[in-house]
Structure formats: C-alpha cells, structure tokens
A and B are shown apart, each in its own frame.
Chain A
C-alpha cells in the first residue's frame, strides 16, 4: 500500500513538472512578451529595455533553470504587467472563482446524481427520456451560448438579474446556473449509465431475490458499485474548480482566475500563466490522487489488488 501511495505521489509530481515545463517552453516559443505587452506601435528601444529588464534576452535554457530554481525557493515570479508577485495576483482572484465554481459544483451534484439515479430506476419512462434529452442538450450547448441565452431571458427581457459583473450576490446567479447546468447534464448521464450497468448484475438480482427491500438493494448494493465512474467525474469537476470557468467568467465579466488566465495568456504575462497552470495542475493531480484512494474505499477489490501488487 505504501509503495502504491508513493508511486502515485511520484507520478503526480512528474505530471506537474511536465505541465509546467510544457507551458514554459510553449509560452516562450510563441511570442515575445515585450512586443505583445507594449503593443505593435511601441518604440524599439522600449521593447529592448523591457526585454532586458525581465531577462527575456537570456537563452531559454537559462530562463528555464532560473525559473525552476526560483520555484524551489517559493518564488513563482513577478507579473510583467502588474509588477507584483504572480502568486499574489492569482490568490486575489481565487475567492471570486470559487464563489462561482463551488456553488456550481453543489448544483451539479444536487441535480445530476439524483436525476441520473432516478432515470436509471425508471428506465424508459417519460422522466427518463426527459432527463436524457436535457442531458444531451446540456452536453451539446456550448456554455457561452447557454450564458447568452440566460442573459437574454433573465437580464434583457425580464430584467430580473444583472447581465454581468460582480457587484452583488445577484450577479453570481446566472454564472452559477450556467456552470451548474452543463455539469449536471454530464453527471446525470454518467450516473444513469453506471446505475443501469450495476442494476443488470447478478448480485443485484440475488440481493433482491433474498427478499431485501428494493430501496435497501439500491442503497446498499447498487449505489456504492455505481459510484466509481461518478466519483471519477466528480474528481475531475473538483480538479477544475480553479480554472473551470474561463468562458463563463469572460461572458459574465466575472473577475476570477479564468479571466486572469485569458488576459495573461493573451499578454504573455509568463509568470502569471505559469503560476495558474501550476496551481491548476496541482489541484487536478491532487484531486485525482484522492479519487484513486477513494476507489479503494468504495471497492475493496481495488484495495486488495493494490495490496497484492505491493
């Protein structure tokens, strides 16, 4: 088991290093931040001065070594646009993003899992078909279209809710609903499929034929076994809490990490982009680690398998 855990941690670390390295190389090979930040009409001497002051005139390998040396000292670099530590900028934005993504995650779970379970238990009924139609639509409609549709109805036509910004709690409703509906649709589909597969298993029929109440069969035998693919998806959703609202934040002018990411990429604000990617990669990897460990808790066979491998 210890070896299993250590292996997972090592893989997670390597993944993070690779993500950050990839971002570092791609960002530096795809455009000079000086030209991008100062604009196309900037005097050449201003561009030269900017490049020198930020070390962009150094070879990429030298920059790479300096970057990693700094990371291991806890320094994630300074924003070229802002002149402040990149980590400070990102941390300022995280509460705004979590203010959307956490309630949206709750909404996804509250809508998607029960809808998927109920649809599976009532396969072929009108409710099942309605859930599947809604789920397909939730998958198929891009979030920016859904967002604009909601704005059109609730902000422009009805005037009930604001169309963008982050001034009051009302400003959060449409972005949360936009994020929540898409995720709920995915969760409903995953949960329904997993439940249907489990409900067709022999042990469900055996448990039922032993005389157990159907509710007990579902709660004690079907749900835990159907939870694994759903937990996988939930793990992904949790992992994307920090950077999972890029489009929605742009449409609703919500000043979160997603918008910071868009602006930083567009301006090649290298330290900020790398800082966000590092945090996102760390969150995603950590979330996957937790999911891996949860597998063992949910399914003893996986736990035993890991022990057998150890």
Chain B
C-alpha cells in the first residue's frame, strides 16, 4: 500500500478519535439546549471547574486557600490527605450537582419565560463568574491530572498495523479510552431519557415547557437535573482534555472546539453531537494532511472546522440531526 495512503488512514483514524473528544464537550451543550433552549456559554468553564475540583479534592487542597490566608494571615494550603481518584470524582459529581442547584436557584429560576438571548447572556455572566471562582478556589497553577487514565501509543494497534502494512499506526490510549467512555455516556443518556420517569419528564419539558408544567412536571427539578447531568459530562470532558494538557485555565477554551460540532450535528441531538464530532474531527485532520500542510502553510484545523460546519448549515440549517424548524404563517 502506498505510504501516503497509509498516512492518510492514520490521520483519519486519529481525526475520528479527536472528534470523540470534541463530541464530549458538545454533549453538554446539547443536553442543556435540548431541555431548556439555553445555549450554555459556560459549558467550557464548567469543564475547567469540574477538572480543577477533581484534582483539588484528590490532592487535599484547601479551597479558597489564598483568600483565607490573605484575610487571616494563615499559611494553609493542604489538608494533608489524599483522596483516591474514584472518591474525588464522586465528590466532584456532588459539587456539580450543588452548582446546578445554585445556578437554578439564583439565576435560572428568575429568568423563566425570558427571551433565549437573555438566558444566553446570563450564561455568559455565569461563565466569567465561574472562571473567577475556580481561580480563587483552586489557584491558577497548572495541575497534573492523576486519575489513572492511560496515555501514549497503543502497542497492540501499532504492532498489528505494522504486521499488516509494514507501518505501525499511532493511536493514543487516551483517545481510545475517551471513545469507550463516550459510548457508555451516550448509551446511558439515551437509556435514561427513554426508560426512566425523570428522563421522560426531561423530554416532555424539552418538547413544550407549558404543557409539561400543566401535567405537574417541576421545571425547577428538571433544570437542576439537566444541569447536573451537563456538569457530569463537563467533568468527563475536563478530565479527558486535562489529561492531555494538565488541568489549567485553557480548558475553558475547549468550548470553541464544540461549536462547529453543534452547528453540524444540531443543537438538540445527542447522536448528532457524536456524528458531528466525528465528521469535524476527521474532516479537519484530513484537510490539514492533504491540503493545509502541503499548500497553505499548515495550522488550518481551527478555521476549516468552521468552514465545514458552515457548508453543512447552508444545506441543512438545523444540523444533521436537528429538528426541522417549520413556522406556519
């Protein structure tokens, strides 16, 4: 097999893997938009906050230590214990639940029936507020995420492809793990929304707020629930991306990677987020390999993802899996 074809296959496979990572971020957006019509600008910052909380709890860091020390003249930074990774993750899930409750109580509850743009603006405020809180709570230093996620080249794939083609493919173990987790996550979300009472209530609210309220579904409960689930998805995305780069402020920027995925897959479809992520991932990597790097000087992934999404928008404005918008006059 010609070398270039093998390289293209390797790039495409890695693009698919990168797409799964994008989809993990996009899923959080979809969940909240589907249930409440809110485009949650704070989703990226939630991923940052969740990942910082996992590391902070795991290492026994005292929250708001700098603030406490500055006010009381103390020098405390750590409790002196370490929490196992699983314990830290579970505690973070509780923190994200509390966060969802606070957001609903202090912000969303007061904005029921407001225009979507107002709710969007509220999430912008929330994003900047949460950024500051995360910084103040856990510090701005870059933290190593140590929850046992495997990283580095997958030896089996390397060896197998080498035996087959005479060239070993590089696939990162972290990407494989992310794919497995994404598959579990999507399956769980679909099962939850199809077969549980809360899931059906969630779908009812997504279809029609007023109708759902009229049959006794609590909007507050549903919003807290969906923000908690989105918080958990943010936790997964934050950990996966944090394993690549360390847990740091830039994690909040991963939201930028989710936007073209949402444009392509639709804002209301969970499978759309996955398929959109895969198309964007493989499309941008193959474009960089075939055209970007050899002819355009490289670094085309960021803008090409948006070009690809725009192309899809032109032909299918609601996205690949989005619901068709029909407004009768």
Please indicate whether A and B come from the same complex rather than being unrelated chains. no
Residues of A at the B interface (CB closer than 8 Å) are: none
Residues of B at the A interface (CB closer than 8 Å) are: none
